Amino acid sequence: MTDEREAALDAMDWLLDYLESDERVAYAEVGGVYKEKTDAVVTGDGPRETVAFTETGAWVRVFADGAADYRYTTSLDEESLQDEADRAIRSGEVLAQEDPGRFDAYTTHRGVHGGWATEGIGGVDLDTKVGVVQDGLAAADDLDLSRTWVNYADAHLEESVGTTTGSTIRTTLDRAQVTASLTLEDGPKVRRHAGSTDGTAFLDELPEVFAAAADDARALAVAEPADPPTGQTTLALSPQAAGQLFHFVSHYLEADTDYMGMSPYAVGDEIGPEGLDIEDTVHAGGWGSRAYDAEVRPTTPTRLVRDGRVERRLHNTTSAAEQETYPTGNAVPSLGRQQPPRIHARHLEVGAGDADPAQLRADADVYVERFGAPYLRDEYERVQRSGVFPASVSYARDVERKVDERPDCGSAEFPLAEAYRLEDGERAGRVESAALDYVPEALETISALGAARETVTGVCEKHKSQLPFSVTAPGVRLEATVGEKN
């Protein structure tokens, strides 16, 4: 074991001993982290800002005085660790929550998970990784592009986590991602994200990722601009666009979102047609997958929607205890660990239907390949989602709600980033400067689910925490209002 790995373990042990001896601490989780990281930016002019480095750190989530606080530090000397622990303890008094945070103090877990990578991503040198990206970008050489930009990043992560109730786990994770954009000289920007925890196998997938992005950019480039429809419109969504929509909806099934009064859905509500099933799962090697969450809980599947009705919410241990149910590992650590873990989906699985692509597009006016980032219409929701939030889910109940009646709760504008007008089910020109007006009832208008499914990945921000997400979904046909993008 290297000195850096030992330093991370020693920091975890020291923090656990320190927190166990403080009578103000009801419970704490501590992680010691060793990372080997790569980050590179590649443009049409070649690579730039390439770096490979190692990082050791320690994170701690402390329950004290009825609240929880989260800290991460790369300074592992005892003085720095004690300072971070004391700050976390004192923050409980500042939050002064009405209801104390709850946790599982009665179950002890022991576990080791070696990750899903046959070969770790850290074993490949930086130049090779950059070369794979450059070779993949050759698929777009024939395109007239005003800008080409790719960010490749990976991390070999070794983490040990312990709690003051005796739980301990050790995990290894090789997480890699690429974010790319191809901007057409006379057309829209094609954005793509791909991610995996499958080690070096991810590098073998990148040529296909870039080739598919180039094909989509090529199709947009040859399509003439078409006038977008306005008002109530029948839309056919690709599996990727549908996946983006279902990921957006999953936020309203998070327990803390409900605590804050921001969810338009209650358990038992009908939100979609019969046959619409949504599960949150864990895929071996999937971008959003982990064996254990930040609360040392094994990650297990959970059904969120059955036959169009909400069956349960996503929980951490606190909200699960309050709702008399069981947590299934949805306290998702933030990428980099600088921000607290959040209640979040890992890998959404949306059940397939029986419609082929032609049936999905039949009678549809617009085909949407991808959406842009949604814009929330409710100001309260927009501010709360983007703002800093403590590490205790119970704090969500104490947030001051300045407006009780909010008709735009759960509504958003989804820009049509890559979309086409349809005539007799065939593409008849690209749609620009238009947006779908999403309302909570939109999923109820789904009239067809595709038989084929595909996966979309990305990074989502929740209260400043950067969280990975994956969705495997079929294409869908639905009704919604389309208007000019603001």
Query: Of the given ranges (103-107, 142-146, 385-389, 460-464), which has the lowest mean pLDDT?
Result: 103-107
d(CA 35, CA 251): 29
Which residues of 363-464 form beta strands (DSSP E)? 366-371, 375-376, 412-423, 426-431, 434-438, 448-462
Mean local confidence (pLDDT), 27-45: 95
391 pLDDT tier (thresholds 50, 70, 90): confident
Helices (H), 297-452: 317-322, 357-361, 379-386, 395-398
Give the number of other Cβ atoms within 10 Å of residue 22's Cβ: 14
Q: Are 233 and 435 in contact (CB under 8 A)?
A: no
Mean local confidence (pLDDT), 198-226: 96
d(CA 446, CA 443): 6
User: Using one digit for the tens of pLDDT, what is the confidence trace for 142-152?
Assistant: 999 999 999 99
Q: What is the mean pLDDT of the chain?
A: 92
User: Using one digit for the tens of pLDDT, what is the confidence trace for 464-486?
Assistant: 999 999 999 999 999 999 998 87
pLDDT(130) > 90:
yes
* The pLDDT of residue 403: 55
* The pLDDT of residue 66: 75
| Phi-psi map region of 383: left, alpha, beta (phi>0 left; psi -120 to 50 alpha) | alpha
Give percent of the chain above pLDDT 70.
96
* The pLDDT of residue 120: 93
Q: What is the pTM of this model?
A: 0.94
d(CA 45, CA 137): 11
**In terms of CATH, what superfamily is 3-222?**
PmbA/TldD superfamily (3.30.2290.10)
User: 449, 467, 241, 444: which is closest to 350 by C-alpha?
Assistant: 449
Give percent of the chain above pLDDT 90.
80
User: 210, 369, 199: which is closest to 287 by C-alpha?
Assistant: 199
| Backbone torsions φ then ψ of 481, nearest 5 degrees | -85, 135
pLDDT(50) > 90:
yes
pLDDT(25) > 80:
yes
For the chain, residues classed under CATH 3.30.2290.10 are: 3-222
Dihedral sign of CA atoms 341, 347, 351, 353 in order: positive
* The pLDDT of residue 484: 87
- CB-based contacts of 418: which residues, under 8 Å, 6+ apart? 188, 190, 216, 220, 368, 369, 370, 430
d(CA 281, CA 285): 12
User: Using one digit for the tens of pLDDT, what is the confidence trace for 269-315?
Assistant: 999 999 999 999 999 999 999 999 999 999 999 999 999 999 999 99
| Backbone torsions φ then ψ of 37, nearest 5 degrees | -120, 150
CB neighbour burial string for 373-407, b if at least 16 within 10 angstroms, e if fewer: ebebbbebbeebbeeebbbbbbbbebbeeeeeebe
pLDDT(212) > 80:
yes
DSSP 181: E
3-state secondary structure of 322: helix
Give whole-number Cα distances, 329 to 11, 30, 332, 476, 485, in Å.
Answer: 25, 17, 8, 29, 38
DSSP 353: -
* The pLDDT of residue 382: 92
3-state secondary structure of 381: helix
3-state secondary structure of 280: strand
d(CA 352, CA 452): 7
User: Using one digit for the tens of pLDDT, what is the confidence trace for 314-364?
Assistant: 999 989 988 889 899 999 999 999 999 999 999 999 999 999 999 999 999
Residue listed under structure tokens 């990784």? 129
CB neighbour burial string for 294-316, b if at least 16 within 10 angstroms, e if fewer: bbbbbbeebebbbebebbbbbbb
* The pLDDT of residue 65: 79
3-state secondary structure of 401: coil
Cβ neighbourhood burial of 263 (10 Å; 0-12, 13-18, 19+): buried
pLDDT(104) > 90:
no
Cβ neighbourhood burial of 358 (10 Å; 0-12, 13-18, 19+): exposed
User: 394, 400, 376, 398: which is closest to 386 by C-alpha?
Assistant: 376
